[in-house]
């Protein structure tokens, strides 16, 4: 399944290091949902730190940033503590949410094909409609681009 702009965002509930994370609890808020491969790796750390640095701007607009990976709740807690991260971090250990958003994809590294999480971000409006999708995200400049799109929704 793939989620595109204009689609209704698939519902989800995931355990998180600060408590459950669910679309139902975020109803009426702008949600930035981003999927990333692994806690405490360079790209994922830089992305999470970028969202943390822009937390005040996202809060001012009324947007909630949620990161999700297959890492455990305990891994998320260590990741948050190590870098002082602010996004909610959801643990999608079975990959159900990742698959529903179409972020579980075939990857190719050095000629070896395998399945993994695509770095992807979904901007969901207050009515639960996906307004923008970024796939194959490159970390540099991404948070600023997402913040500009969130500001436009404001």
The pTM of the full predicted model, rounded to 2 decimals, is 0.95
Mark 70-100 as b/e (b = at least 16 C-beta within 10 Å).
bbebebbbebbeeeebbbbbbbbeeeebbeb
List of E strands, 19-103: 21-22, 30-35, 63-69, 88-91
Encode the chain (154 residues) as per-residue pLDDT tens digits.
Answer: 789 999 999 999 999 999 999 999 999 999 999 999 999 998 999 999 999 999 999 999 999 999 999 999 999 999 999 999 999 999 999 999 999 999 999 998 899 998 999 999 999 999 999 999 999 999 999 999 999 999 998 6
Residue 54 is predicted with a pLDDT of: 96
Domains of the chain, residue spans = 13-153
Per-residue pLDDT reduced to its tens digit, 104-147? 999 988 999 989 999 999 999 999 999 999 999 999 999 999 99
Q: Which residue has the tokens 């207050």?
A: 126
Two tokens at 20?
């459950």
Residue 32 is predicted with a pLDDT of: 98
CATH 3.40.50.300 is held by the domain 13-153: no
Active-site annotation, residues: 44
């Amino acid at each position: 399944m793939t989620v595109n702009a204009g689609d209704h965002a698939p519902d989800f509930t995931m355990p998180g290091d600060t408590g459950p994370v669910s679309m139902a609890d975020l109803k009426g808020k702008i949600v930035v949902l981003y999927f990333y491969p692994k806690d405490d790796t360079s790209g994922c750390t830089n992305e999470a730190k970028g969202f943390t640095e822009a937390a005040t701007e996202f809060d001012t607009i009324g947007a909630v940033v949620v990161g999700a990976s297959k890492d455990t709740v305990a891994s998320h807690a260590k990741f948050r503590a190590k870098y002082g991260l602010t996004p909610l971090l959801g643990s999608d250990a079975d990959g159900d949410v990742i698959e529903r958003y179409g972020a579980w994809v075939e990857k190719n590294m050095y000629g070896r094909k395998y399945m993994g999480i695509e770095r992807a971000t979904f901007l969901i409006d207050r009515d639960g409609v996906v307004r923008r999708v970024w796939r194959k995200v490159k970390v540099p400049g991404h948070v600023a681009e997402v913040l500009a799109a969130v500001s436009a929704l404001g």
